[in-house]
Structure 1
Amino acid sequence: MNDEQLLRYGRQILLDGVDIAGQQRLADSRILILGLGGLGSPAALYLAGAGVGELVLVDDDVVEISNLQRQIAHTTAEAGAAKAESAARRIAALNPEVTTRPVTRRLDEAGLAAEVAGVDLVLDCSDNFPTRFALNRACAAAGRPLVSGAAIRLEGQVAVFDHRTGGPCYRCLYREEGAEAERCSEAGVLGPAVGIVGSWQAAEALKLLLGVGTPLTGRLLMLDLAAGDCRTLTLRADPACPVCGGHGDA
């Protein structure tokens, strides 16, 4: 590690459990972030700032002016640009040592499986149930940890599903039948709500890569910014889950 890297990551290297060896682990790691909107924006920027070696940025949407109230990876000048490419440019400006690979097409099941198999960890920053369920299946098949986040209005959720150890998984938490996510365009969202959730997702990802702290594995963190309240629920694996089979109950 050279002097410039020691200067850039010095405050992080000082942490117990990180040191130079941990910083090198981050540099050698590869993370997939699906969704570069309100959740993916802060998550991507913090992971890039922390020195994660490669970020695969997946989003088939483009930047709109209505996004900028909360999607902080993008700027007014990027309106009309692909979100994945806009985020990649912002990351390059923040930390040119980080490699990014923007994916601007919608991935089908086979595409998700191929991308997930090539990374160490996955962040679900999407905004719809079909994508979340498909990503959970891909992570389960590849044995990759999945850090899931969601936010709407002044509320948020974060959970970690470590598919290296079995269930519970995302499918244990939500049934596919009849699942329908509320949209920010209909219900509204406070910008800092997605910022907090996305930042927490980044923190959980770093904890998993570094092996420090206690990740939210098998737990659901629930945030209520209106009430200033935060609570954690323990999740139980569903014995009938078609994805994880209910194995590895937390």
Structure 2
Amino acid sequence: MMDDQQLLRYSRHILLNEIGVENQEKLLQSTVLVVGCGGLGTAALPYLAAAGVGKLIIADHDTIDETNLQRQITYAETDTGSLKVEKMAQFLRERNSQCIIEVHPHYLNTDDLNQLTAQADVVLDCSDNFATRQAVNAACVQNRKPLVSGAAVRFDGQLIVFRADLDEACYHCLFDMAQADDGACALFGVFAPLVGVMGAAQAAEALKILMSLPVAANVLRCYSALTGEWQQFKFVKNQSCQICAAVGQSSII
């Protein structure tokens, strides 16, 4: 049960009929894995911590450089050269000391991803490359965990919710090529506020999943920061998917 201090801190959530005390307590008892502390992660993680997620597992091997400061607003000029996960953990702890922060400042292999994913109630893919997205997706399918995937490059963002826990489509159902050029920020640039929009949207979807509020899965949502418009495209599970089809079939009684 929440104490008086927690009831006060999260009162603006508790006032919402869709959340209340019961759903706020779900957040306090939940664990979220966030892969990537770049533009998307620096937008998503502060909202997850502030909203009351009990434990955050964050993974990123990268260090902060000058080019990150244009959009990764949780980092300061004096942070240049430091590990992103360490500075992010410090930032989050200063804003919610009750949130448990676990950091992994190295590359995650398949075993690492599976172990961390198994601990999480929801996974956020805030990475910036195709290979990592496929690896995170495979771990979520293997462990039957919800995945909230985001992407941002130039002026364009993507947001998708995958529900492996409900035997729905996975990332590989939608993007089944062996490799792809995502259009990395270092090559094509990215509009600074775009990562904030997409990262915050990822946090919102994750929080709704944790509280069992309605979430639209199997929908690719595309945002243009130039026009301010959203488009959405529904897709279905690929029954021949190399990643999720066998897992789904094995779960059928």
TM-score range, shorter chain: over 0.9
Contact 2:35 2:60 in 1 (8 A): yes
The within-5 A match list for 1:13-92 is 13-92=14-93
CA distance in 2, matches of 1:179, 1:152: 14
- Give how far 1:58 is off: 0.2
SS of the residue 1:221 aligns to: strand
Counterpart residue identity of residue 216, structure 1: A
Contact 2:162 2:218 in 1 (8 A): yes
Aligned residue in 1 for 2:220: 220
Q: Is 1:192 paired with 2:193?
A: yes
Kindly provide the CA deviation profile for residues 42-62 of structure 1, in whole angstroms up to 9, marking residues without a partner as x. Answer: 100000000000000100000
The within-5 A match list for 1:127-138 is 127-138=128-139
Contact 2:130 2:179 in 1 (8 A): no
The within-5 A match list for 1:88-99 is 88-99=89-100
Counterpart residue identity of residue 145, structure 1: P
- Give how far 1:73 is off: 2.1
Q: TM-score, normalised by structure 2?
A: 0.95
Q: Is 1:206 paired with 2:207?
A: yes
The gaps in structure 2 that reach 5 residues or longer are: none
Kindly provide the CA deviation profile for residues 54-97 of structure 1, in whole angstroms up to 9, marking residues without a partner as x. Answer: 00010000011210111122111211111111110000111111
- Give how far 1:118 is off: 1.1
Contact 2:131 2:179 in 1 (8 A): no
Q: TM-score, normalised by structure 1?
A: 0.96
Counterpart residue identity of residue 121, structure 1: V
State the Cα RMSD in Å. Answer: 1.3
Contact 1:33 1:125 in 2 (8 A): yes
- Give how far 1:176 is off: 3.1
Q: Is 1:231 paired with 2:227?
A: no
- Give how far 1:126 is off: 0.3
SS of the residue 1:149 aligns to: strand
- Give how far 1:211 is off: 1.3
Query: Taking every aligned residue pair, what percent have the same amino acid on both sides?
Result: 39
Q: Is 1:168 paired with 2:143?
A: no
Counterpart residue identity of residue 229, structure 1: E
CA distance in 2, matches of 1:7, 1:159: 33
Aligned residue in 1 for 2:120: 119
Kindly provide the CA deviation profile for residues 141-167 of structure 1, in whole angstroms up to 9, marking residues without a partner as x. Answer: 001000000001111000000111113
Going from structure 1 to structure 2, the CA distance change for 1:165 and 1:27 (only over 3 Å counts) comes to: same
CA distance in 1, matches of 2:97, 2:182: 36
The gaps in structure 1 that reach 5 residues or longer are: none
The within-5 A match list for 1:123-162 is 123-162=124-163
SS of the residue 1:39 aligns to: helix
Higher helix fraction: Structure 1 or Structure 2?
2
CA distance in 2, matches of 1:53, 1:178: 35
Counterpart residue identity of residue 223, structure 1: Y
